[in-house]
Structure 1
Amino acid sequence: MKNLKLKLLSLSSLLFLFLTVSCTDELDTKPEGTEQTADELFADPSSYKSFLAKLYAGLATTGQQGPAGQGDVAGIDEGFSSYVRNLWNFQELTTDEAIIAWNDATIKDFHWHTWTVSDGFVKATFYRLSYQITNCNEFLRQTTDEKLDGRGVTGSLRDDIKTFRAEARFLRALSYWHIIDLFGGASLTTEDSPTQYYLPDYANRQQLFDFVESELTGMEADLKEPNSNEQFRVDKAAAWMLKAKLFLNAQVYVGTDRTQDAYTYVNKVINETSYSIHSNYSQLFLADNDTNGAQNEFIFAVAFDGLHTKTYGGTTYLTHAPVGGSMDASEFGINGGWAGLRTTSAFVEKFDGMDNDTRKQFYTSGQTLEINDVGSFTDGYAIAKWKNVDSMGNQGSDASGDFVDTDYPMFRLADAYLMYAECFLRGGGGDATTAVGYINELRERAYGNTSGDITASDLDLDFILDERARELHWEGHRRSDLIRFGKFSGSSYLWPWKGNVANGAPIPSYRKLFPIPQDAIIVNPNLIQNPGY
């Protein structure tokens, strides 16, 4: 089992009422069952860390028993409600990097850019983010100095809880950042929000941006120093990385150039930590990526375990769904593929003339480069990136091959290297020599030698966008990257089936944001729909 025990906390009916404060519909979250007050629950000193583990587990698990049966979010198949799975679909299926063959509800609408305000996947994602935030709020509400004084909590546990609170604030900021990126605005609720049912006011993108920035600044002192926390728990470096992400996208989010600030925090991630680039690219996405050295590149990763965090979302989805056709499922450590995910020719072309680049992980046997039938898995090259085997080729811990052990890197050092180069090119700071050095370190890992090295004359924003695709594809970054580089909407960059046209078609700029679910607006009229919907 992973170092951070992902033990699900059994919460009381009373506590559940707190957790669902400000949720948009009482049918969209479910209580967990025992009759126990919050004070009784937290009378056990171990409950504080157990609750913290529940917050981290909220990024991986989908309910109270896993993989199905007591889901956190109702009204949708539990596997479809996964935090990582939904985030990945939003960031990848809407781009040139991924397309899906399935007919599950409206899933194809993501690549076609035809989703609506009533889309079930949009609703599930909005509610999953809200649910994660309310859980974080409740932990913070139950760990105030007043609460701890009343329970007689002192000594080292009190010190630990101070760190736990900072981590909960980080996880809440992470979810608010995802709301900013995907939806723009939403309700802003905190531990200080009312505990009785009420309709929260709408907070626009600027207000949420300011809140996340303030939170990341405010929590930093209470987080552990870089590389000193337990594996899968965040430290100061994770807060720096999230700040850098927020600032690098600030022009998109709030119309203000914060590239210099992004550079400041990227530089801290690179130079004030001991994270390092792992020597083997493919090992970053294997079942033992928590022990094979890849973990030293992961600034923050979501833990998955085939025995203890069973879910049809997360990396189980990313390992099963891309396997089909003539692919041998056993090579991926699974009992069978789901024949869903593959890529487009536009992404394949990013590797033209780069046959020695090991990041080029296409499966082509029986697959066509061009996609004539979106519903046919063999139309389009498959990508063999995520696997449930360890570095020695052994299957993950789940003997059935149903669920995987591969952890999901939310932030890794390679991304920070690429962000440094982008900040330099955008005038935020740094120098060409250092930027080229970081890029070449990644390319030398990919090529195994210096044959793929670049020079300063090769370095421009178009190169960085393509290099981000080559290095970070299928890791949940592409949509945000395309928007930041002005390539997502309009006609400046077309890819197969963009806009539901075989050769690609322009899409309107309002598609850079997803709609607030109509159901949420019906329940809380304070919410404001995004333009265009």
Structure 2
Amino acid sequence: MKMNYIKKLALIIPTLIIVSCHDDLDQTPIDPDSFTENDVFANADEARGALAKLYASLALTGQQGPAGQPDISGIDEGTSQYSRMLFSLNELTTDNAVVGWGDPGLPNLHAMSWGAGNDFTTAMYYRLAQEVSFCNSFISNASSLDDPSVASFIAEARFLRAFAYYNLIDLYGNVPLVTQISTELPAQNSREEIFNYIEAELTEIQNNLNESGASEYGRVDRVAAWALLSKLYLNAETWIGQDRYTDAITYANQVINSSYQINTVDANGNGSAYDELFLADNDSNGAQDEFIFALNFDGNSSRTYGGTTFLVHAAIGGDMDAAAFGVNGGWSGLRTTKALVNKFDYAVTASDEDGNPTEWADHRAMFFTEGQNLEINTIANTFTDGYAVTKFKNIDSEGNAGSDAGGDFVDTDLPLIRMAEIYLTYAEAVTRGGSGGNTQAAVGYINELRQRAFGNTDGNISASDLTVDFVLDERARELYWEGQRRTDLIRYNDFTSGSYLWPFKGGSQSGTSVDDFRALFPLPSNIILINPNLTQNTGY
């Protein structure tokens, strides 16, 4: 059963968050069906319901859904959903995706020419600041309840707050650290201070979170804390100049030895189950065993124009049959570049008359090629330039469409952290010299992923194949369109430099380097104007 995020909950924090400060927390909700804040925190059962709002803030966009009463103003509501903006900032800025739409600020993302007023970089800051604020308020109110079960709820809220800050230091660098509701303008903290805070929070709450697998689907347990720590440590050298690869291995090992596991056999008993990770029944087809932290969606009860509704509809166009994806039509927007397609060159089994690949033995190469050009000559309004991606679908393992009879909204859940990523974290940390792991174990984890991808051992590698660069390419093959790519390229010094180019990087058709300051997004320009304590990131 999917966790229902659409239950009526008290909106205990104002909707537009600018500096994570609030001076009207006592206002009465406009919605007559809403509880008051006192009702929400009357007992542990009501607090558990309020906890859902913290998860919902990442999955949905407002109080009505799919549009109306938005959490964040100043941007199209569907666009403001967390994972849709994560895709925009961490995938559209890379070799993994282009979009043909001309929304203000959107073409600048792939061209890497955004400014401090960009709608998408601004709205993501607001979304994450809102999540921090919701968590702060929940923690403050729930702490007054004298019930042992509330401790785990508070730990979940602290995890979600730490997750928001993980995103903030990844995307923006130096940001205010706010852990309590306040009317004071916050000071700016360094990236290292935020890093240390996240580390301390996750370490402290791990034993207050439920044991591995003990939480209902859609809620985090202590394995999520270990997984986020491993991700944090993998980026430590890039973010704060500290080699923490040994720590990344330590926590990756704890995740790997937990109850979560790779979904290696599909629902019909076949060997390849990669595609089932991204189907409408991925909360029950075995994929859920791999999902350590996921956003839950339901085409009837949790509607949004972001999330997987965006990933399915926006990727359909040209000669593609929308019904085969369980929806009523495509938005003709998202495609990929040949740089991603070329990552699968070793597995090509068929090509067209021009020699462009059309079929692959690696089943992770989920591309629609009919009527599509491998080369991109024009991004805007030309869906057929660039291969389409078929990774996300609103059909279940038996081929049935999702629950929304109209075909507008999607049931497919979206993994934010899954076991395959932790395998790759372990492998990368080993190749970067971390201790506590070993190459043979890393090779074994990689081969487990590749055996799922191929359905046999044809794609297996040996120890001599496992290099730092190989892991980057394997991350591209396994995790594309899951919000990881920009962070990976920055860690490898490939995001801004001329060492790795892709079509239209820096606005050039053949690709070009950009200034290094692009490794961070700007703080929103109006935040800088409001809060004199903040200093804008270099270059903006």
TM-score (norm 1): 0.94
**TM superposition shift of 1:44:** 5.2
Measure, in 2, the Cα distance between the counterparts of 1:496 and 1:22.
Answer: 37
SS at match of 1:66: coil
Partner of 1:242: 228
- The partner residue of 2:210 within 200, 206, 224 is 224
- Could you tell me whether the CA contact under 8 Å between 1:8 and 1:64 is conserved in 2? no
SS at match of 2:415: strand
Partner of 1:252: 238
SS at match of 1:211: helix
Shift of the 325–273 alpha-carbon distance from structure 1 to 2, 3 Å rule, reads same
Partner of 2:375: 370
**TM superposition shift of 1:16:** 3.0
**TM superposition shift of 1:449:** 0.8
Partner of 2:248: 262
- The partner residue of 2:305 within 308, 312, 317 is 312
**TM superposition shift of 1:80:** 1.0
- Could you tell me whether the CA contact under 8 Å between 1:25 and 1:520 is conserved in 2? no
Partner of 1:396: 402
Partner of 2:2: 3
- Residues 1:80 and 2:87 aligned together: no
Partner of 1:172: 161
**TM superposition shift of 1:420:** 1.1
**TM superposition shift of 1:114:** 0.3
- The partner residue of 2:334 within 334, 341, 347 is 341
* Matched residue count: 515
**TM superposition shift of 1:4:** 2.1
- The partner residue of 1:407 within 404, 407, 413 is 413
Partner of 1:122: 121
Shift of the 160–26 alpha-carbon distance from structure 1 to 2, 3 Å rule, reads closer
Measure, in 2, the Cα distance between the counterparts of 1:392 and 1:517.
Answer: 45
Partner of 1:189: 178
My pick for the range that moved more, 273-282 or 435-444, is 273-282
**TM superposition shift of 1:11:** 2.2
Q: Which amino acid aligns with 2:50?
A: F
- Could you tell me whether the CA contact under 8 Å between 1:364 and 1:382 is conserved in 2? yes
Measure, in 1, the Cα distance between the counterparts of 2:22 and 2:179.
Answer: 18
- Residues 1:203 and 2:189 aligned together: yes
Partner of 1:478: 485
- The partner residue of 2:148 within 155, 159, 164 is 159
Task: Give unmatched runs, 5+ long, in structure 2.
Answer: 266-272, 348-359
SS at match of 1:118: coil
Q: Which amino acid aligns with 2:505?
A: K
Matches within 5 A, 1:26-65: 32-34=29-31, 37-43=36-42, 45-65=44-64
Shift of the 217–101 alpha-carbon distance from structure 1 to 2, 3 Å rule, reads same
Task: Give unmatched runs, 5+ long, in structure 1.
Answer: none
My pick for the range that moved more, 504-513 or 31-40, is 31-40
My pick for the range that moved more, 351-360 or 496-505, is 351-360
Measure, in 2, the Cα distance between the counterparts of 1:514 and 1:363.
Answer: 32
Partner of 1:100: 99
Q: Which amino acid aligns with 2:239?
A: Y
- The partner residue of 2:475 within 460, 468, 472 is 468
**TM superposition shift of 1:299:** 1.1
**TM superposition shift of 1:37:** 4.8
Shift of the 219–462 alpha-carbon distance from structure 1 to 2, 3 Å rule, reads same
**TM superposition shift of 1:32:** 4.9
SS at match of 1:202: coil
TM-score (norm 2): 0.92
**TM superposition shift of 1:460:** 0.6
- Residues 1:89 and 2:82 aligned together: no
Partner of 1:293: 286
SS at match of 2:376: coil
Partner of 2:352: none
**TM superposition shift of 1:42:** 2.0
**TM superposition shift of 1:208:** 0.7
Measure, in 1, the Cα distance between the counterparts of 2:196 and 2:29.
Answer: 34
**TM superposition shift of 1:365:** 0.7
**TM superposition shift of 1:434:** 0.9
SS at match of 2:206: helix
Shift of the 228–110 alpha-carbon distance from structure 1 to 2, 3 Å rule, reads same
- The partner residue of 1:507 within 502, 514, 519 is 514
- Could you tell me whether the CA contact under 8 Å between 1:21 and 1:134 is conserved in 2? no
Taking only aligned residues, the RMSD between alpha carbons, in angstroms, comes to 1.9
1:383-432: CA deviation from partner (whole Å, max 9, x where unpaired) = 10000000011000001110000000011111111111111101112112
- Could you tell me whether the CA contact under 8 Å between 2:40 and 2:50 is conserved in 1? no
Measure, in 2, the Cα distance between the counterparts of 1:75 and 1:18.
Answer: 12
**TM superposition shift of 1:34:** 4.6
1:64-109: CA deviation from partner (whole Å, max 9, x where unpaired) = 0100011000011101110111012111001001011001111011
- Could you tell me whether the CA contact under 8 Å between 2:54 and 2:134 is conserved in 1? yes
**TM superposition shift of 1:210:** 0.9
Q: Which amino acid aligns with 1:411?
A: I
- Could you tell me whether the CA contact under 8 Å between 1:298 and 1:411 is conserved in 2? yes
